[in-house]
A = this chain, B = another copy of it.
Amino acid sequence: MWRSCFVQVTMREFLAVDAGGTSTRAVLIDETGSCRGAGRAAGGNPTSSGPARAADSVAAAIALALDSAAADPGRVAGVLIAHAGGHDDYEAGVRERLDRLGVGAPVTRAGDLLALFASGTAALEGAALISGTGAIGGAIRGGALERTVDGTGWLLGDSGSGFWIGHRVARAVVDDLDGGPRTALTAALLPLLDLDAEPDRAATEGRPAVLGALVRALYALRPVELSRFAPLAFAHPDDAVAAGIVREAVGALVALLDRVRAVQPDGPLVFGGSVLMEGVLRLPREQMAPLLAAAGDREPIPVADGLVGAAVLALRAAGVTVDDAVHARLSASVRAALVRAASVRAATAR
């Protein structure tokens, strides 16, 4: 009795944060891999939200996680924040806000690619492939990122990404209205920009009037926003133009994976990002075949985000060994804590 009570009291606790562009998730975990609390806030990536707002989001998610576990902030032994990019003001801003919350523990930073990989597996060797708005691959060796491939952004790289696909969708629609191959993408895209889905095709100088309006509307977007049209390509499997774009995207992701696998042929393969999760992995098996072939004999492990991985990295940073059992406990308990946090939020909202 005395012994278990002692263990309870001295069990170390850690905070792990996955600070993404759209939302920030934080969990409070102990060294056995049990998740005690979770919180969610707005986007926490310093590049997309700005360093101050991003640091606010990180602090808000952490405050909710501590609160949901009725935890003592002073007892937290370490904090790990996983995010893309980096920014001095962000690191300083997070530190300052944590001090204000009473969390004095040291903060470690991890990349989003490594966190994503660790979300999917306890292995220390393997590869990760993300295709969301951008596309990037990573070879992991000895639990660290050995090599990244691509991730060079919409203008210079990101082949097979949401931007890359959405850009091709937009170009195909412009081309259709300019006398090029007809595609079902046209009637699907135009209403998304409040344009008439059934344009009058016999207008001035042989080009429909809607073409000019479409071109103006598309140039008014920031280029990366073209990624919002990526789902249209997957939604029209019977359209030759759309199917061609998807086929090319799969080809680009195969090339990316091949280059990662050349560096690290061993270990599991983790997939993340909306294009892979909601697009490619839902394709008929034969359309995914080139990607599965590039993956070798390994079934890709799809993960929604880097939150479990951030928890894994938080434990490892503190010297805790994360094996398959601890990884499984983390995965299950983090998921349960997020559901609890969401239902508390829903109840509070009522």
**A residues lining the B interface (CB < 8 Å):** 139, 145-150, 152-153, 155-157, 167, 170-171, 174-175, 178-180, 205-207, 211, 215, 218-219, 223, 259, 262-263
Contacts and interface: CB of A to CB of B under 8 A. Distances in A.
Given A148-B205, A207-B148, A263-B206, A156 B180 contact: no
A128 to B, nearest CB: 14
A272 B263 CA distance: 47
A215 B178 contact: no
A142 to B, nearest CB: 13
B263 A146 contact: no
B207 A155 contact: no
Nearest to A211: B152
A157 B179 contact: no
A218 B259 CA distance: 23
Contact of A174 (B156, B178, B207, B219): B156
A153 B171 CA distance: 10
A343 to B, nearest CB: 41
The 4 tightest CB contacts between A and B, nearest first, are A147-B206, A156-B174, A152-B174, A152-B215
Contacts of A171: 156-157
Contacts of A156: 170-171, 174, 215, 218-219
Contacts of A218: 155-156
25 contacts: A139-B206, A146-B205, A146-B206, A147-B205, A147-B206, A148-B205, A148-B206, A148-B207, A149-B179, A150-B178, A152-B174, A153-B215, A153-B219, A155-B167, A155-B218, A156-B170, A156-B171, A156-B174, A156-B219, A157-B171, A157-B174, A157-B175, A178-B259, A206-B263, A223-B223
Nearest to A148: B205
Nearest to A138: B205
Contacts of A259: 178-180
A147 B207 CA distance: 7
A263 B179 CA distance: 10
A218 B157 CA distance: 12
Contacts of A207: 147-148
Nearest to A262: B179
A95 to B, nearest CB: 25
A328 B171 CA distance: 41
Nearest to A144: B205
Nearest to A255: B180
A130 to B, nearest CB: 16
Nearest to A173: B156
Contacts of A148: 205-207
Contacts of A157: 171, 174-175, 178
A316 B227 CA distance: 48
Contacts of A206: 139, 146-148, 263
Contacts of A262: 179
Nearest to A177: B152
Q: Which of A145, A152, A174, A215 has the most CB of B within 10 A?
A: A152
